[in-house]
Structure 1
């Protein structure tokens, strides 16, 4: 991650795999400029300018939270015109924002004294992890475990590009942990973003509680915050799911995360994520407060809590932030805890789209518009 002010941050940390495309898209017509109810003209122009290069059938579902009050804005590109639609209850893959929820499950178990944040993950499983060094739960959640981005027995060159994780089951993850695991550096000393680490965290929390990952999400988070359209199991929300798009505008298959569900498997809506966001503003919520607290300094502009990245803004304020990207979707979520402001963007823009960085750019630009001038 390069050291730069977040207003110009274009690096996406939450993309599950990387790729490129030669797809070209013509510039769209602005059909939202005269329908700005609920948003300012400035916000309308930001939305259009950051979405005009995406293909037809692209949707963005946006929650704008100002002083703890939520407005929803949806747009869709149809026949080369970007128009307002109502899609705040439509479901999208949220990709790596899932990691915040996995870290929240960890925080719940820490608060309930089921495990210790600095506990060695080896001490909580009945098989031998092939490591001399100990990895803690905190190091899995804040990307300082020393683990690589992906396991060595998941070869993306041989996997199905349209659904690369679907065959990576618990047996393969256990095989990796017991026979192949290797660290790139000593745990706890360096930040290195790892989908594998978050996947192992979700896997181990399910083992410790003897409860499937999906059931943990429902019991500990989704039911608690009334997130009725959120799940890690696609069959639960199939009828409400917005189709993901490849860079060329064709439909992209959804991804199945198997044993690495904790890294990116969740589906959700702007409405549901806004409920989770509002809960983040309650400093009496010790479970969420623990995830927001800094655990490691990455550089002068960024720290990391548990799941959340903590960004230093040009105006001196802080944001907690995460984004996500999969084959058919890109997302971004940033919250100003002090002022109870936030932006959530869900989209069916592929992480392989050469302009996918515009989703993060739009997120940061929109939150700037919420600042008290």
Structure 2
């Protein structure tokens, strides 16, 4: 019984897309009409087919970027009908897409010559990490550090299951790194996705800057790209916060982060994320270009830059992509840099809804439609 409970809790706090029954079996009616020719029939059908089994009160907020031009689409399931709404200024948790922003902060530090990607993280800490291995900043950003997904002292049996990261603070992280840390493999050898690694990266950058993760985001990214409704602190949300839903479609708690904020703390809107997406197309932007550059080959179909996963497409092109999932939200963001196309999806679909994979499926389906003239 204890093994089953631990396995469940591990999945719950892992910021990963998992599966869990949501009890939702009714198929919604299609109330998506073509608003002023902003979306095609194919796109409308993709939206409906990938959302028709989500619970009532499910919302999706989307940005469709075609050749650098943005259209916003919002849908909501109300009374078993999926209808268009306007929610592009509404806030959602973006989950692990946060890691792209943490990696962007790292790129900013590199461009400002405050550190180098291959520097040992130990050299910038005032405590000794209990490992003889050298871990670099690049390895934290591309998931090759050898660090596990989560720290061993994030107690799975006693964590608040509705808000699992809230009480994991600086003292606990330092205690883990100085006493309990154990790498799963030598750094730099193998890709192993780690929320801990991204959290450590955000923590260390804030430490170097003698600042906080939130202030770094605001000063170096959100202000620069006019992302006025983005924050890593729930108390700083200024506009409508869409309520997250659990797998059964019931309102659930937001997730708050302390020291591991770099792994998944950001709240944002598709309007703000579309601004960040458009900036990715600017080849003169050295800070963003560095995050897009491959740093490790995962397999024949995927490499990873700094934060961004780089996916090979069947048409010979590439996408940079990341997704995210928390207890009440799922997100996906894919950009075709060559053609300046992209899709951003934010939703209040739980990462543990059994159909949560439909969000990525919708993202990739929609970006394929943008290839067509």
Question: What is the CA deviation profile of residues 298-320 of structure 1, one whole-angstrom value per residue up to 9, with x for unaligned ones?
Answer: 00000000000000001111000
In the superposition, relative to structure 1, how do residues 361 and 345 fare at CA in structure 2: closer, same or farther (>3 Å)?
same
The aligned counterpart of 1:358 is 358
1:179 and 1:18 map into 2 onto residues whose CA distance is 31
Determine if the alignment matches structure 1 residue 75 to structure 2 residue 75. Answer: yes
2:372 and 2:326 map into 1 onto residues whose CA distance is 34
Question: What is the CA deviation profile of residues 198-233 of structure 1, one whole-angstrom value per residue up to 9, with x for unaligned ones?
Answer: 000000000000011000000000000000000001
Q: Equivalent residue of 2:290, what SS?
A: helix
Determine if the alignment matches structure 1 residue 328 to structure 2 residue 317. Answer: no
1:105 and 1:328 map into 2 onto residues whose CA distance is 26
Q: State the Cα distance separating 1:165 from its structure 2 match.
A: 0.8
Q: State the Cα distance separating 1:20 from its structure 2 match.
A: 2.1
TM-score with structure 2 length normalisation?
0.95
The alignment of Structure 1 onto Structure 2 pairs a total of residues equal to 360
Conservation of the 8 A alpha-carbon contact between 1:308 and 1:321: yes
2:52 and 2:144 map into 1 onto residues whose CA distance is 38
Determine if the alignment matches structure 1 residue 27 to structure 2 residue 27. Answer: yes
Conservation of the 8 A alpha-carbon contact between 2:57 and 2:78: yes
RMSD: 1.2
The aligned counterpart of 2:126 is 126
Q: State the Cα distance separating 1:161 from its structure 2 match.
A: 1.2
Q: Equivalent residue of 2:259, what SS?
A: helix
Question: What is the CA deviation profile of residues 174-209 of structure 1, one whole-angstrom value per residue up to 9, with x for unaligned ones?
Answer: 100110000000000000000000000000000000
The aligned counterpart of 1:173 is 173
1:110 and 1:74 map into 2 onto residues whose CA distance is 37
Determine if the alignment matches structure 1 residue 368 to structure 2 residue 368. Answer: yes
1:136 and 1:128 map into 2 onto residues whose CA distance is 15
2:19 and 2:158 map into 1 onto residues whose CA distance is 15
Q: Equivalent residue of 2:366, what SS?
A: helix
Q: How does 1:1-373 map to 2 (within 5 A)?
A: 15-16=15-16, 18=18, 20-33=20-33, 35=35, 37-237=37-237, 239-373=239-373
Q: Equivalent residue of 2:297, what SS?
A: strand
Q: State the Cα distance separating 1:237 from its structure 2 match.
A: 1.2
2:35 and 2:116 map into 1 onto residues whose CA distance is 51
Give ranges in structure 2 of 5+ residues lacking alignment: 1-13
In the superposition, relative to structure 1, how do residues 34 and 225 fare at CA in structure 2: closer, same or farther (>3 Å)?
closer
Q: State the Cα distance separating 1:247 from its structure 2 match.
A: 1.2
1:327 and 1:248 map into 2 onto residues whose CA distance is 11
Question: What is the CA deviation profile of residues 334-371 of structure 1, one whole-angstrom value per residue up to 9, with x for unaligned ones?
Answer: 00000000000000000010000000000000000000
1:36 and 1:187 map into 2 onto residues whose CA distance is 52
1:293 and 1:195 map into 2 onto residues whose CA distance is 21
Conservation of the 8 A alpha-carbon contact between 1:91 and 1:267: yes
Q: State the Cα distance separating 1:30 from its structure 2 match.
A: 0.3
The aligned counterpart of 2:11 is none
Conservation of the 8 A alpha-carbon contact between 1:327 and 1:351: yes
Q: Which runs of 4+ in 1 moved over 6 A?
A: none
Q: State the Cα distance separating 1:157 from its structure 2 match.
A: 3.2
Q: Equivalent residue of 1:245, what SS?
A: coil
1:252 and 1:69 map into 2 onto residues whose CA distance is 35
Q: Equivalent residue of 2:242, what SS?
A: coil
Conservation of the 8 A alpha-carbon contact between 1:319 and 1:335: yes
Question: What is the CA deviation profile of residues 109-153 of structure 1, one whole-angstrom value per residue up to 9, with x for unaligned ones?
Answer: 000010111000000011111010010000000000001000000
Q: State the Cα distance separating 1:25 from its structure 2 match.
A: 3.3
Conservation of the 8 A alpha-carbon contact between 1:33 and 1:45: no
2:35 and 2:274 map into 1 onto residues whose CA distance is 23
1:369 and 1:194 map into 2 onto residues whose CA distance is 32
